[in-house]
Structures are given as structure tokens and as C-alpha cells.
Amino acid sequence: METREGTKKISREAQRQRRLQKEAVLDLALQSAAGLAKIAASLANPVRKNLDYVGIGRQTAVVEPIASGQISYFDRDIEEFTATKIANNGTTSIIEIEVARVFVDGFSIVCRPKIPVPRLYTTKYDVMARTGERLLQSAALREDLYLFSLYNTQSTVANTAVTCPTMLSKHGLALAYREIERRRNKVKNVVMSPYGPTGIRRWEFKDLDEATRAAILKTGYMGSLWDADFYCSDLLPAKTWYFLVDPMMCSWMPIYNDVAIEVVDITNDDLLIVKAVEYVGMVIHDASSITKIEML
């Protein structure tokens, strides 16, 4: 107990010392014009053209970190069966239980941008920090492209795609929900293209109350309707919606190595090479857990 208390005191003292050092450096910077310029540069933001991309795929799949050297797999549930009625002195039937094991192979996602070294000194904001943010976005973009491709492939294997003649209506949504619910399941996530909110904005108060309609018109995560979470991504084809059940019964995404960012080298042309690498796997283990709407 004394050792633990002593460790806590040392840790708190170390934190206090680091805080004092940071305050001293800041005070010194505030006393000079050069220091003030550095502070201003660190607080500057880039002039953006659009909002940063927010990954959606991981919200619709079971994300499982895999320890180094381990193999990713999961065991399927036991298929359901019914009991049988046996007459007196009859022979009972025997059901053999089988459990299928699924192994998930991995693949690499890599991005290697090059930064001109002079940019590190002439740009008003921290180019390295912003590059790191962009690298994380690039990995999320690629993950979503792969997952959305899997959704498209599996969405019509077991379920029938619903078609809407014009804008999305509550009737079209109800038909898509029915495809999932007829297999004794529930829609948990709905992923749509930016074309999707156009139909929602045209719904009237008789279709959806104003408070709920306003709640599902946010960027990225849009809100919920009928116990399902709605997401919007500009990576999806126009006029396409995907309806997915709970991730545990739909898709699996093992993470062998999450996004790691590192500076690789400086070329002879004064280009700083930065690299982001991740090693992941993806699988849709039940085609009946996905259906889609296509608007004509």
C-alpha cells in the first residue's frame, strides 16, 4: 500500500513539473514578437473547401482488435431446429450439432503522401499535424469503400431490393424494413447517399413529426427513425440506401494493426515522405442481414 501511494505521489509530482515547464515556455513565448508569431501559427486553421470525412463503416460492423500473432476467426451460431412429437414407446430423433468456424483474412491499406520540406516553415498552420488528420481520413475513406462494396454485393443475395419510383417515401422504407423483419431480425443501421435526405426533406408533418424530421438531417450521423440509426456518406452511389441489422449479426471487421502514421524518409528533392498503414479484415457473414433501396 505504501508503494502504491508513493507511486501516485511521484506521478502527480511529475505531472505538476511538466505543467510548470509548459507554462514557463508559454510565458517566455509571450514576451517576444517571434514567440507570439509561433503561437499565432499554431492556432491558425487551414482554409477548407468542405467538411472533413467521418468514417461510417466501423459504426456498422463489429470491430475486433487482434493481438499480434493471433488469427482472427469467429464461430457461427448453432442452426435452429424444432422439437418433434414422439408417440408412446416411439424412437426419438437425434440432431447432430455442428458449429462452423469462419476465418477472416486481412489486407493492407496504405497511403504515402509527400510533403515539400519548405511547406513546414512557410505554411500558417501545422502541416504535419494536418497531414496526420488527412491520413486518418484517407484510411477511413478506403475502409468505407470496401465495406460499401461488400454491402452492395450481399444486399440482393438473400433479400429482394426495393425500388422507389421517385423520392424516398415512408412506404419504401417500410418495404425495406419488411425484408429484414420477415427473417426475425431488426434494422439497426441505415446508410444512404447524400441524395437520400432530399426525400426526407420533402416529407410533410403527416409523414413524420417536425422534431424527428429535424433530428435526422444532421451531417454524418443523421439521427434515428423506427429504432434504426441513419448515416449519410457521399461515397455511396446516388439514390442508394442500405439497411443493416445489428453489427453482431451482420458484419465483422478484425483490426490486426490499426492506422499507424510514421515519417519514412526525406528524398533528394526535399520531399518528406509520410506513411499511414493499417492491416484489417472485413466479412459479411450473413447475406440476409442486408437489403437495399434503389430509387429510379
146-161 pLDDT, tens digit per residue, is: 999 999 999 989 888 8
Number of H helices, E strands in the chain: 7, 14
Q: Kindly report, residue by residue over 53-64, the tens digit of the pLDDT.
A: 888 999 999 999
Q: Cα–Cα distance between 156 and 292 in angstroms, integer? A: 8
Q: In 31-165, which residue ranges form alpha helices assigned H by DSSP?
A: 33-43, 119-122, 127-154
- Tell which wins on pLDDT, 142 or 216: 142
Question: Which residues touch 33 (CB under 8 Å, ≥6 apart)?
Answer: none
Three-point CA angle 11, 17, 19, nearest 5°: 105
Burial zone of 241 (CB within 10 Å; 0-12 exposed, 13-18 middle, 19+ buried): buried
Closest C-alpha to 146, from 113, 187, 105, 114: 105
Tell how far CA 135 is from the center of its chain: 15
Are the beta carbons of 126 and 42 closer than 8 angstroms?
Answer: yes
Domain ranges of the chain: 2-43, 105-295
Closest C-alpha to 227, from 180, 286, 166: 180
Closest C-alpha to 230, from 222, 220, 238: 222
Are the beta carbons of 109 and 256 closer than 8 angstroms?
Answer: no
In angstroms, how far apart are the furthest CA atoms of the chain?
99
Read off the C-alpha cell for 126.
501545422
pLDDT of residue 1: 45
Q: Kindly report, residue by residue over 142-196, the tens digit of the pLDDT.
A: 999 999 999 999 998 988 888 887 777 778 888 899 999 998 899 999 998 887 7
pLDDT of residue 146: 94
Q: What is the mean pLDDT of residues 65-72?
A: 90
Yes or no: is domain 105-295 CATH 3.40.50.720? no
pLDDT of residue 208: 54
What is the phi/psi pair of residue 113, to 5°? -80, 160
Q: Confidence band (pLDDT; 50, 70, 90) for 2?
A: very low
Three-point CA angle 100, 106, 111, nearest 5°: 160
